[in-house]
Amino acid sequence: MCEEGTINMLETAQSIIRRIGKQMGLLPPEIDKLLKPNALHSFEIKLDNGKSFPAYRVQHNNKRGPYKGGIRFHPEVNADEVQALATLMSFKTAAVDLPLGGGKGGVSVNPRDLSDIEIEELSRKYARYMAPYIGPTKDVPAPDVNTDGRIIDWMVDEYEKTTGDKSKASFTGKSLRNGGSQGRDAATGRGGVIALRELLKHDKKDKQTLTVAIQGFGNVGSFFATIAQKDHPLWKLISASDSTGAVFDKTGLHAKALDKYKADRQSFSNYKSTGLSFISNEELLKLKVDILILAGLGDVIDQKNMKQIQAKYIIELANGPINDKAYDYLITKGKTILPDIIANAGGVIVSYLEWVQNRQSIRWSASEVNKKLEKYMANAMKELYKVADTNKVPLKDAAFMVAIKRLA
């Protein structure tokens, strides 16, 4: 069912790299070298009860350091999707100047169909199979869709049993008690807040009251909302959505109240508050707001709704939330789109900081981690605007220019 979409994702990633590489004067063999993964591991995981699942790990580019990228458990995982995401991770780590490469892994499975015992067995067998190819100086996986600190802890334990390595630097995204980093859960949302702040500073809009709508009030969207409301009171959140629809209040929403409500596994369709109305996800996207945060799924803005998008600033906290045709249209209409490879890089930055702490056997406080995240994101935005302004190109093109310069 997802084959076409994921092939398009791979083609889209490769297409922009080819286009920007050509603009920068790279020869076809040099561009081909940027696109070709170093290794593609494709294998089958068989559980003791006979259930069997296809599994993958693509190691795309390690010129700048060990491969880095998550492992997802999802029924639509396939080789093309994993290769596309590994490719984009190489460019993301380069764009924010981390000494890491790009990788991605996944198992084609619906974890809801498995017991906890089966999920643990699947996790351990994945780590056992990949053990010769990963490790603190080779490839450092992390959690992704449907994986978390508990699953990573199992993988770390299996990797330790298989290799004898006790550094905990083989994976990131671990639980705090098992060598994880402070600040990691909030990192992607916090990074998005920092990036938006720098964008508004550049456009001299940082002292104005601006309205905000958040599409996708999950982990990333909720952390973005609560941190933004605390640090930037002039950003007024007026709408936020989950899978059931969106809440809307033109006088402003309380991010912490929404976060607490969602933490109790409640859906927005049942949320009640004075002055509040309930709208669809599609209506949220079309709201007349200053800033639209896309923190949900990919391809939410496409040819069907692109002409109704009214926000001036669009922040891609999700991966690929705007398809190519919609992106090109919105740029011609003067929209400013902060691309995902910069906007949502906070997660991989703090993953890198976790890896550094493990390698050096040290622990940083949350404030120390946040200060380092702040520096990486602010520097990345500074370099992004320098390249965009010099070359008179949109921010997405500039982000890939920065990355290609560091990789080629």
CA distances from 362 to 243, 356, 365 (A): 40, 8, 10
Burial 200-235 (b: 16+ CB within 10 A, else e): bebeeebeeebbbbbbbbbebbbbbbbbbbeebeeb
CA distance 174 to 142: 8
Q: What H or E segment, with its residue span, contains residue 190? A: helix 187-202
* Catalytic residue check, 104: yes
Determine how β-strand 336-338 pairs with β-strand 52-61.
unpaired
CA angle at residue 41 from 3 to 132, to 5 degrees?
155
Catalytic-labelled residue, pool 92, 104, 125, 262: 104
Contact predicate 87/10, CB 8 Å: yes
Q: What one-character-per-residue DSSP string does 25-57 give?
A: T--HHHHHHHHS-SEEEEEEEE-TTS-EEEEEE
**DSSP 3-state of 378:** helix
Residue with tokens 């994101």: 377
What residues are annotated to the active site? 104
